[in-house]
Structure 1
Amino acid sequence: MDQLNPSDLKAILHSKRANLYYLEHCRVMQKDGRVLYLTEAKNENQYWNIPIANTTVIMLGTGTSITQAAMRMLASAGVLVGFTGGGGTPLFMGCEIEWMTPQSEYRPTEYMQGWMQFWFDEEKRLEVAKQFQLARVQFIEKIWAKDRDLKDHGFYVDDLDIQQALDGFAKKIPHPTKVGDLLLAEAATTKQLYKIAATRTGLKDFSRNPEQGDLANDFLNHGNYLAYGLAATTLWVLGIPHGFAVMHGKTRRGALVFDVADLIKDAVVLPYAFICAKEKITEQDFRQQILQKFTEHKCLDFMFDQVKAQACKNHDVDGEAL
């Protein structure tokens, strides 16, 4: 059989890639020019192909290993790899967001240069944080207005409580003079959205605690880490290091990943974590639901657009597709 090199694959823009994998109890390897994962069945081993040209992130969970040859092919295709705990959380390397990122000297430099033009100015950095939060609110309104599955579970964007939460936050965003104040307003709004989602799904005793162990909290953890994978991919492709955050930077080194993931978490992960908890579906089914919605609502595209818009604002960047 002829060897298939990653360079022979038809290029798919990172912003258009559809696949994000979480694997557990398997071995990832290269075989006949393809990346496969091997699972051990009762009487035989089974191989499954990973379409690396259409994949953004691979998260390796409990009981996994990966070969050097597979890593070489994944790096050539620009796929990020991270090791996680069971169910996709937490991402190992302490409390940081750390990914094994492909080494490529051909990524753009202009977005990083544009980012640096504002980043060292505290006022400009705060302004970008505000723009991200406004985009976050607008994305929630857009997705909740058109997603039929959300409407089937009572999430109507023109309901009074939802409108009050989103409009109230949007009106607060322009006023903070410190990042800490913006973070407080953002946290209060997310708490309101938790309450809204809990009310609509009948989980009225819910409280957000990542260590709680109930389905809603577990699904929120899991979905958030999938969003972090998309955010890390966006920043890697654009060549912007994770440390140059606009909101979370004083607490975590990988904070820009959190900033970018926040653009889509409340719109997609939050409501579906509660809906899937209400329906008591499996973690695997929840993951498939979230990934389907990420693709349906073009979440990765949205992340790229928002980060590029801020990087290009004060810099002469042509904003080519990536």
Structure 2
Amino acid sequence: MKQLTDLKAILHSKRANIFYLEYCRVMQKDGRVVYLTVGNKQKQYWNIPIANTTVILLGTGTSITQAAIRMLATAGVLVGFSGGGGTPLLAANEIEWLSPQSEYRPTEYVQGWLSFWFDEKKRFEVAKHFQHQRLDYLQKVWEKDTDLQAECFYLDDHDVQSSLARFIQQIEQCQNISELLTTEAQLTKALYKIAASRTGGRDFTRQHESIDGANAFLNHGNYLTYGLAATTLWVLGIPHGFAVMHGKTRRGALVFDVADLIKDALILPWAFICEKEGATEQEFRQQCLKNFIKYKSLDFMFATVKETSLRGDQL
């Protein structure tokens, strides 16, 4: 099986294959993406060379598994559902998200967002505004959450207060996005240290490729927040590419900007708590979903993005 990092080795401009499939099931089998056809009462599996494929269109009578979608996304393959013969296009993925291609969405928010986005100074002010909103949300959650307090996560602890106060001060001292990103990373690292100290006192190193422990829970929880953020932006009609912080290398980076509003408050501490308690992935996911509802995470994202869209040029 190819290493996941090798699946994007062939540039999209050099890839040879576009697949249109009908009356089959696309799945992952033995580390490969294949499609299954049934003819004359005999099943046949056909390999799809995903590293050399740009687009897969799924037509009439097709289905696809989650495992196959995961591998296709890793290889950077675009996936769309279409009618017979490849048209009309019913749904296609926007960055990482397979979203309905309906354009009956509000226009006022994307127009408001674009009113400031092309001005670098205003875009930077919005980025700082997002960081302040992120901290406000964290403080509200940690101040009232009795479950977190039972795990010794107290907002008024000295290390928590000093980390947040330092970050607030540094936000205003930042002169550009690079400095703000560095400051943000320092805060997250401090929160990792705080969470680790509350749940065992061990050293913690963030490893995005890890499939064990708190790292795995952080990855899983972060993807849940990305789903909420992508939903918020799609409903409001704002393309994922108009990021204010993370857009240097990822076209869909506005998803990450919006997800950051809640990640530290709800995902970070529970990743460590659930690791300590030996929770399963499903138990961790249920805890996250419960917190999303309890603290109205999606409402908060919508309110923040809508408010920023409508008055972002005044921040």
Say whether residues 1:174 and 2:172 are aligned partners: yes
Residue 154 of structure 1 corresponds to 152
Residue 287 of structure 1 corresponds to 285
**What TM-score, normalized by structure 2, do the two folds share?**
0.71
Q: Identify the range of structure 1 (162-171 vs 205-214) with the bigger mean alpha-carbon deviation.
A: 205-214
Say whether residues 1:133 and 2:131 are aligned partners: yes
Please provide the CA RMSD for this pair.
Answer: 2.9
Residue 223 of structure 1 corresponds to 221
SS in 1 for 2:96: coil
AA partner of residue 291 (structure 1): L
Q: 1:282: how far off?
A: 0.6
Q: Choose from 189, 202, 205 the match for 2:203.
A: 205
Say whether residues 1:305 and 2:295 are aligned partners: no
Contact map agreement 1:153 1:275 (CA 8 A) in 2: yes
AA partner of residue 158 (structure 2): L
SS in 2 for 1:141: helix
Q: Distance in 1 between matches of 2:209 and 2:220?
A: 12
**What TM-score, normalized by structure 1, do the two folds share?**
0.70
* Count of matched residue positions in the alignment of Structure 1 and Structure 2: 243
Q: Choose from 233, 240, 243 the match for 1:242.
A: 240
AA partner of residue 191 (structure 1): K
Q: 1:136: how far off?
A: 0.4
Higher relative contact order (CA 8 A, sep 6+): 1
Q: 1:84: how far off?
A: 6.4
Residue 18 of structure 1 corresponds to none
Q: 1:69: how far off?
A: 8.6
Q: Distance in 2 between matches of 1:89 and 1:299?
A: 29
Q: Distance in 1 between matches of 2:275 and 2:71?
A: 17
Q: Which has the larger radius of gyration?
A: 2
AA partner of residue 256 (structure 1): L
**Which whole-Å deviations, capped at 9, do the CAs of 1:252-271 have from their partners, x for residues lacking one?**
11100000000000000000
Q: 1:283 to 1:249 in 2, by over 3 A?
A: same
Q: Distance in 1 between matches of 2:244 and 2:65?
A: 24
Contact map agreement 1:143 1:297 (CA 8 A) in 2: yes
Residue 46 of structure 1 corresponds to none
SS in 1 for 2:299: helix
Q: 1:94 to 1:158 in 2, by over 3 A?
A: farther
Q: Distance in 2 between matches of 1:259 and 1:315?
A: 18
SS in 1 for 2:100: coil
AA partner of residue 302 (structure 1): F
Q: Distance in 1 between matches of 2:247 and 2:217?
A: 25
Gaps of 5+ in 2: 1-24, 26-57, 78-93
AA partner of residue 180 (structure 2): L
Contact map agreement 2:222 2:263 (CA 8 A) in 1: yes
Q: Distance in 1 between matches of 2:312 and 2:202?
A: 46
Q: 1:236 to 1:144 in 2, by over 3 A?
A: same
